[in-house]
Structure 1
Amino acid sequence: MKVFRGKIWTALGSLMDHAGAAASTKASTAAAPDRALLADIEAAIARCTDGGGGSGSGSDDRHVHEILFLVSNAPGAITFLSRRITARLEAARTPATALRSLLLVHRLLRAGDRYFEQDFRGLWASRDLRVDVPRCGCSCSPLAASGAGVNYVTASVAAVTGACSFLHGYTAYLEERMQWVINQSGNLEPTPPPPPQDPNDGKPHPHPHPHSSYAAAAAEALLFKLAMCQRLLDVAVQLLPDNNTSASAAARSAFGIVLRESFKVYDAFKEGLDVMLRSRSVGRSKSLRVSAHEVLRKACAQTPELKDFYHKCKKSNVGKIMEYPVVRIITPAIELVPPISCEEELGAGEVAQESEGEAPFESKLETTISAVWVEFDDEDQKAGRETTGDDHGSLQAQQPS
């Protein structure tokens, strides 16, 4: 019996060893695709950021969608993607290399679904994805070229200066663009600011303005959106490429995206400005009124600059866009709708009661008597007989003497 039990335990031990070996084999085969997936993502990043192909072409679109497909198959792959792009930016030695990496960030932000966009922006907020690092890429100097002529050096300096300037402007634009999302209608809208925190417990209030009305909260959200539109348009206007920068395919592609996005942002600003000018809720609050006047003051300086910017883009055919928005020039003569407070409404009522002799309406009332006979029921006839005298008297009173 002891020998038989020993054989059983030996058999069970061998089965457990075999099961453990099988489990380890399955784990290793399951881990292998993950490593292969990350390698595929890194290879796709390299294809999008190297100088082999022209940025903005159909092949680049294919590589971008390839990255999105690979990331969608692994939940944690987006973190790896963000860190690899950041590493490429930090390792960039030329403005062109850094610009292609930034362009990849911009295109992923536009091509991904809202879940990818939310995670991508979250990694930017946590600094796993950084778009403010390519300034080191402008340290290259063409003066190091041996035997170069004066004209060649001058042209190279101009090209590098223009590329660095565009790179810095594009970096600033992406920093602002990360604070925007694409809504369900395909338009850009800024993300709302986080609610203020209580200094005592540090927890955000679910209702930042518990005593404010819905109209005041909507007006505050509108003013925030207008201010964000002006900030994004400010950095977009600074991105007009010169002749040296426009020779780069990556710069042309990046600027074309910025230009198209600025159209949508300006349309949103123009519609929001019309709503603000008609809103009485803005005028009833001092803080909202100050913010609204700040938007108007900035618009007076920004709209002529934006119109000139679009004119130069259209004249140089940058981005090959034919339909440009019509910019409305804001002048200091535009004012907000005057607020109506409770005191003003009460005062207007008192004035109306004191001036009973004056007509309270701008136009005279007219009475029209119809000659068409209408058949009434018995109850209607009875009610009509009871009120005939009063109605007749009132009609006579309204007739001119």
Structure 2
Amino acid sequence: MSKPATGVPDELQRRLGVPDAVMIGLGSMVGAGIFASLAPAARAAGSGLLLGLALAAVVAYCNATSSARLAALYPASGGTYVYGRERLGEFWGYLAGWAFVVGKTASCAAMALTVGSYLWPGQAHAVAVTAVVALTAVNYAGVHKSLLLTRIIVAVVLAVLTAVVVASLTSGAVDAARIDIGTEATAGGVLQAAGLLFFAFAGYARIATLGEEVFDPARTIPRAIPMALGITLVVYALVGFSVLLVLGPDGLAAAGAPLTDAARAAGADWLVPVVRVGAAVAALGSLLALILGVSRTTLAMARDHHLPHALAAVHPKSKVAHRAELLVGAIVAIAAATTDVRGAIGFSSFGILAYYAIANSSAWTLTPVEGRPARIIPIVGLTGCLVLAFALPLLSVISGAAVLFVGAAAYQGRRTLASAARWRRSR
């Protein structure tokens, strides 16, 4: 196995404490996912979506913990693309990178559709495509989301979610009989809801990759992960509970924009435009970061010749991966124009769960000297990822598995061609 990367000098990096790491985690998790994933989860599990939410949080915790231990050992950028390659072999690293790219590309489409669903429900696809084109242009120009902007978005989202919870719980529309947690749910429905709600926790791994940036990462990161996930879980549970109270499982399942529907049902019509703007701000912020992240992973894989090397080009003026940016933007725009939110979320969750299955498998190979987590962590994480991935809607499973198979076939085909070329040269 390769020697772990050493990183850059500590004095330039280790400047974040536990509160900072928790805030970064919240900034990565508390976003547009909760605006989009509640309705598909309610469709799967009814009032059992709260159980699904708890299960998704447990899997997310195991994934983040496994990733944190690996990030401390391999602080180079790339995440599980690096961990899988170093611990399991080149193919598994490649497959993790491929799963990340396709999964997060679908996340981009889901975020764009969330913008459309809340801003202009009747033209959701057109608004989504417009948002993708606009933000691709922003990223192409080299303008990225700053830490200050992240904090502003988190503050806006938390304020909007708090307003929805308060309006719902204090309204005359509350009917406790509408929510009897889990009584209407099947085990399969709860698992499917957990897989879909896993999408709402996307971004938690940002905490796990702070190894080079925090004071005493061996203590800070293990503390920050449960704190950030716990706060996020409480916020999401309150939102889910209050929305279920005013809409009921059936009303929530049928909602195109669940939080605006909840505000309207609660008699807080004044809150509807606020929720729409808050959802759009959150989704646009997530979309900006996602397009950037997918293009950067595409760039890294192109440099390693796992994707066409032409995608590794960097613009001489803006210093961005302009070809990767344009390709990702075009694919996301097509997806946003042709799919729905539930399909995009399901496909995204399948890809990202596959990505973290490889992360947990990599963490299993760590030795105690290398900082191996408790054995139960990667076991529960790997098992949870696989179970939730295959509990997703059948179309998401089939399409996700097919795309992973195409990626694996492309890898093998490239290896075969390279071997044939070497054989010809040796003759």
Give your verdict on TM over 0.5.
Answer: no
TM-score range, shorter chain: under 0.3
In proportion to residue count, which structure has more helix?
Answer: 2
Question: Based on CA coordinates, which of the two structures has the bigger radius of gyration?
Answer: 1
| Larger relative contact order (CA 8 Å, sep ≥ 6) | 2
